[in-house]
Amino acid sequence: MAKKSKVIKMHHRFKLDIGVVIFLIIIIYVVFNVFDYLTSSPVAEYEVGQGTIATNYVYHGLILRDETVVYAGQRGYINHYLKNAGKASVNDVIYSIDTDGGLSKKITTAASDGTNLDTQTLSEISGKLDSFRNSYDLNSFSAVNAFKNDIASQLSQTLSVNALQTLEEDVGLAEANHTFHKKKTEKPGIIVYYTDGYETVTADNFTADHFNITDYASVTLENNAQVEAADPAYKRIGSEAWNIIIPVSEEVVKQLEEDEYVRIRFCKDNFTISVPFSVIKKDGTSYLNLSLRTAMIRYVNDRFVDIELVVSQEAGLKIPNSAITSKEFYTIPKEYFTKQESSEPGLLIRKDKGKTELTLVTPTIYYENEDYYYVDDEFVSAGDLVVRNDSVDTYSIGKDVGELTGVYNINKGYAVFKQINILSRNENYSIVEMKTVYGIALYDHIALEGAKVKENQLVVK
């Protein structure tokens, strides 16, 4: 007879192992982040720093000076004895006229012989060459031509004066025969050797046509060999005071109406100076009359000059324009927010119009003005009803919306929109206000390409 089995089969219930669950959650989280990292585009970042941006305007200015054209007075062959842009005192010999040409030719020939230069002159020229070589800027090649002309003018002056002294006996004989005449200046001033027809133009009588550079032409006097009595011999500038006239818009006039001085930069050589100005109205156009008392000799050979007006300069946080984007928000009246113990404003939300159940949420506030808070859709949705804590009034979210300009802050590894207040901007950068309540701060890291980032996006660097 077979024995009965005493083994009793037990049915085990499935028990949930919390450790396995946590392990699976971690695995899923890691896989998700690895997938997100592999499929996400890296976000370039920019560290916010301080900076300034100047609001500048570049204009083509008309230069006006105290200019007097001095005429030859006699027909004959002319030689000059003072370099261009040189300073002359009363009774300095500026030029000579030789009526028969023989002595003038001798002076010209002697002046072309550089072997007679004295040690002092050679030392001065050598010093100028060393100074120019040490200060030369590769970005200012035009300075080479100006320097060359200055050296050539100094050499010509020195050699011509030496020739006049070497030929003293011949000069004396020619003067006695009234065929050679030394011409001296009656007044002190800066001597230049060109005319252009603008010598009588002043701040009172200029016209819009004087700014037409297409028809502008100047006549060089220094290379003339023979002149008539009525021909110009040189031009004398009698004062260091000079003016620059520029046509400007009414916008610029308005920006400057509270100022007495304006800062200008000469584009030719980057020379910068603050000068007084006045506004002239002519034929419906506004002109700035810039009054200068220095640096006239730097631009003595120019009738027109490009200058930059530095009208204003804003300081703040400097960020690239590529980081700036915009985002739309719900605007909710402030009276519908409830103060909580945490002191952060909250909203009593009714999700279903047919029910009375309310949910208290604390949305992220991105900006505020006098009447509204700006919130996004993280905790609320369009159509939700906000109930006032102290009444039965309700407000439907989505009724009013507003757009903010800002950047995405990525300090914490994910993108958070921050509103900015732009003070000034140029082609590449903007200056934004510092220490704003909902804005960015110095040394914050922001997304360099703001339009390519979304709220709460994980940042892959």
Residue 390 CA, distance from chain mean position: 55
Place of tokens 């080479």: 144
Helix (H, G, I), strand (E, B) or coil at 210: helix
Which pLDDT belongs to residue 354? 65
Structure tokens at 7: 């083994």
DSSP label at residue 362: -
Separation of alpha carbons 120 and 138, rounded Å: 30
For the four alpha carbons of 97, 98, 101 and 104, in that order, the dihedral sign comes to negative
Torsion of CA 87, 88, 89, 94, to 10 degrees: 170
H runs (alpha helix) in 199-263: 250-256
**pLDDT for res 38:** 63
Residue 277, SS3?
A: strand
- What backbone torsions phi and psi does residue 377 show, to the nearest 5 degrees? -95, 20
Query: Which of 238-253 are b and which e, b meaning 16 or more Cβ less than 10 Å from the residue's Cβ?
Result: eeeebbbbbbbeeebe
Q: What integer pLDDT is reported at residue 255 of this predicted model?
A: 85
Which stretches of the chain score pLDDT less than 70? 1-16, 33, 36-41, 113-125, 128, 131-132, 134-156, 342, 353-355, 461
Enclosing H/E stretch for 418: strand 416-419
| DSSP codes, 345-384 | EEEEEES-TT----EEE-PPEEEE-SSEEEE-SSS--TTP
Give the largest Cα separation in the chain, rounded: 172
Instruction: Determine the pLDDT at residue 25.
Output: 85
pLDDT at position 37 is 62
455 token code pair: 């709220």
Tokens coding 387: 């109930």
Concatenate the DSSP letters of all residues of 133-183 into one string.
HHH--TT-THHHHHHHHHHHHHHHHHHHHHHHHHTHHHHHHHHHTT-EEEE
- Compute the C-alpha angle 100/104/109, nearest 5°: 140
Beta-strand runs (E) in 90-159: 93-98
Amino acid type, 19: G
The two tokens of residue 198 are 């603008």
With CA atoms as reference, report the closest residue to 43 among 363, 414, 442, 444. 414
Distance CA 330, CA 457 (A): 20
